[in-house]
């Protein structure tokens, strides 16, 4: 029987009970700084939406630039926020199964999921995003919409940045689960 197995009806600890390592603490502190900066993007997005709606419905003049900048700001917030969700363990999973597992089983699933699914997926996105951005930069890609935004490569550049942050968060999670299962890297709790 698992040493972490619990009594029926007892609430099992969640994955955030995994031990902290030096790597996970450093990455978590880094994400704290990233989130302070990212929080301003949402404020700017709200302002752009309010301006766009006001111009459209009060003055009858919509601007494609405002619509596109809304999409771009949302994409930036989403791509950068992915890593933060992974780091804070606030991402979506099938909790109906997960919550019934012992912490040891959860850690094993975390290790296998990260090594076999997560890392190859994020690596592929990183590898294939570079030519995607390079091509966009090379042709000076602009929006297809009349009056749309130039420098399409700039928004596309957030794809590898978001994936790098997601990769860092995945490595943090992996060190925590690995430390719980094997005692290395050493805990810093």
Q: What is the pLDDT of residues 60-88, one digit of tens each?
A: 998 889 999 999 999 999 999 999 999 98
Q: What range defines the domain where residue 116 resides?
A: 20-91+100-182
Percent of the chain past pLDDT 90, that is, above it, reads: 70
Q: What is the number of domains present in the chain?
A: 1
Q: What is the pLDDT of residues 127-158, one digit of tens each?
A: 999 999 999 999 999 998 888 899 999 999 99
Closest to 106 (Cα-Cα) out of 1, 17, 185 = 17
Residue 157 lies in a domain: yes
Q: State residue 53's pLDDT score.
A: 93
Answer whether residue 120 shows pLDDT above 90. Answer: yes
Residue 166 lies in a domain: yes
* Structure tokens, 74: 């949302």
Residue 46 lies in a domain: yes
Residue 188 lies in a domain: no
Residue 2 lies in a domain: no
> End-to-end distance of the chain based on CA atoms, in angstroms?
26
Q: What is the pLDDT of residues 18-60, one digit of tens each?
A: 899 999 999 999 999 999 998 999 999 999 999 999 999 999 9
Residue 17 neighbours by CB under 8 Å, 6+ apart: 103
């Amino acid at each position: 029987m698992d040493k972490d197995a619990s009594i029926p009806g007892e609430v099992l600890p969640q994955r955030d009970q995994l031990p902290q390592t030096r790597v996970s603490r450093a990455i978590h502190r880094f994400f704290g700084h990233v989130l302070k900066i990212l929080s301003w993007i949402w404020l700017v997005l709200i302002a752009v939406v309010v301006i766009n709606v006001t111009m459209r419905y009060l003055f009858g003049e919509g601007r494609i630039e405002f619509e596109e900048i809304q999409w771009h700001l949302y994409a930036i917030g989403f791509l950068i926020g992915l890593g933060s969700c992974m780091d804070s363990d606030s991402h979506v999973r099938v909790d109906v199964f997960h919550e019934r597992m012992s912490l040891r089983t959860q850690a094993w699933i975390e290790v296998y999921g990260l090594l076999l699914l997560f890392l190859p997926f994020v690596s592929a996105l990183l590898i294939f995003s570079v030519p995607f951005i390079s091509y966009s930069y090379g042709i000076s890609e602009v929006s297809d919409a009349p009056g749309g935004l130039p420098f399409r490569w700039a928004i596309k550049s957030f794809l590898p940045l978001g994936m790098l942050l997601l990769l860092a968060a995945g490595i943090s999670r992996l060190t925590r689960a690995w430390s719980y299962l094997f005692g290395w890297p050493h805990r810093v709790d």
